[in-house]
């Protein structure tokens, strides 16, 4: 079942009753709205005047819903995560922490090869220069020692948008604002999937920084970034003004968890596919498999 993403941009009071999320608007006098908690995959809180009861927070976490909070710039800045995300969590932590360096390098090779391949397929779909990316995807070595990721990224961003002088930079000109928001949502979904699979999102296979609590999420989301890029491309083509990240634009980007992706020979919602990816990652850590399941961009 596809989980729902709820976005709150206005003041609201969120509570729970009979396993339902109850949305009240005390200052506006609107009728209460009710959503089954089991149907919720993500809750995005943007307005500082939103109140949540502790009972609701507990039920959301127990149902593995990602609760994402936004900062003053309206960008996701935190995610609530459970202390126990899987019944075999301790054993899975151990397998992850004892993973060998050669295994991690191999997993990173698979990750970057999948990312570059998907970037090439996206450029092909847009009738852009893609042949170099297709070749580079097959040349990635263990640990990506030749840094094909960076070389491919430079080529990809130079060719994707028909915007003169566009550079992919977090604080750069639009549509960087759309990409930032989309990637933040994707990162939260990835962290949720990792926790549900009993893995530590802060212990990466490549990314490592003592200040980064989601290093593994940053690793595993790489081949999935293409779906944010694809959605942003469509928005750029259709929208006249993307300078401001409006509520309408955010609503479009919040469709990311439900996007259809092709993984292991089947179509699946992105949020479900990520759970398959993170579980396959555990199987690699546990020496049950040598292959991570990543989506193939179609």
Q: Quick check: pTM over 0.85?
A: yes
Q: Where do the domains of the chain lie?
A: 4-80, 89-285
pLDDT confidence of residue 1? 62
Q: Which H or E element spans position 61?
A: helix 54-62
Q: Is 74 annotated as a binding residue?
A: no
Q: Is 164 annotated as a binding residue?
A: no
How many beta carbons lie within 10 A of that of residue 159, not counting itself? 16
Q: Which CATH architecture has domain 89-285?
A: Up-down Bundle (1.20)
Is 129 within 8 Å of 92 (Cβ atoms)?
no
**3 state DSSP class of 226:** helix
The burial of 157, by beta-carbon neighbours within 10 Å (0-12 exposed, 13-18 middle, 19 or more buried), is given as middle
At 139-167, the pLDDT tens digits run: 999 999 999 999 999 999 999 998 888 89
- Closest residue by Cα to residue 88 from 222, 279, 236: 279
Fold of 4-80: Ribosomal Protein L15; Chain: K; domain 2 (3.100.10)
At 163-183, the pLDDT tens digits run: 888 899 988 999 999 999 999
Is 75 within 8 Å of 181 (Cβ atoms)?
yes
Q: Is 28 annotated as a binding residue?
A: no
pLDDT tens sequence for the chain (298 residues): 678 899 998 899 999 999 999 999 877 778 899 999 999 988 999 999 999 999 999 999 988 888 999 888 777 888 887 777 788 899 999 999 999 999 999 999 999 999 999 999 999 999 998 999 999 999 999 999 999 999 999 999 999 998 888 899 988 999 999 999 999 999 999 998 999 999 999 999 998 888 888 999 999 999 999 999 999 999 999 987 899 899 899 999 999 999 999 999 999 999 999 999 999 999 999 999 999 999 999 9
């Amino acid at each position: 079942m596809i989980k729902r993403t709820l976005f709150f941009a206005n003041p609201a009071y969120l509570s729970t009753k009979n396993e339902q999320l109850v949305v009240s608007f005390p200052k506006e006098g609107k009728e209460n709205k009710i959503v089954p908690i089991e149907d919720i995959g993500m809750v995005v809180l943007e307005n500082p005047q939103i109140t949540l009861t502790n009972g609701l927070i507990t039920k959301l976490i127990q149902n593995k819903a990602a609760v994402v909070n936004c900062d003053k710039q309206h960008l996701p800045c935190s995610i609530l995560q459970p202390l126990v995300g899987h019944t075999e969590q301790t054993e899975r932590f151990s397998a992850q922490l004892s993973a060998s360096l050669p295994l991690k390098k191999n997993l990173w090779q698979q990750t970057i090869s999948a990312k570059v391949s998907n970037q090439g397929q996206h450029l092909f779909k847009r009738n852009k220069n893609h042949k170099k990316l297709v070749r580079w995807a097959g040349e990635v070595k263990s640990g990506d020692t030749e840094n094909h990721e960076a070389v491919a990224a430079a080529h990809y961003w130079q060719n994707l948008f028909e915007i003169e002088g566009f550079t992919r930079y977090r604080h750069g000109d639009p549509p960087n604002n759309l990409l930032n928001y989309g990637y933040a949502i994707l990162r939260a979904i990835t962290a949720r999937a990792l926790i549900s699979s009993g893995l530590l999102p802060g212990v990466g296979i490549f990314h490592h920084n003592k200040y980064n609590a989601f290093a593994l999420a940053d690793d595993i989301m790489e081949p999935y970034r293409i779906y944010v890029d694809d959605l942003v491309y469509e928005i750029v083509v259709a929208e006249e003004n993307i300078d401001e990240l409006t509520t309408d634009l955010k609503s479009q980007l919040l469709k990311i968890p439900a996007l259809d992706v092709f993984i292991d020979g089947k179509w699946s919602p992105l949020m479900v596919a990520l759970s398959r990816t993170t579980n396959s990652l555990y199987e690699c850590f546990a020496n049950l498999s040598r292959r991570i399941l990543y989506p193939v961009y179609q």
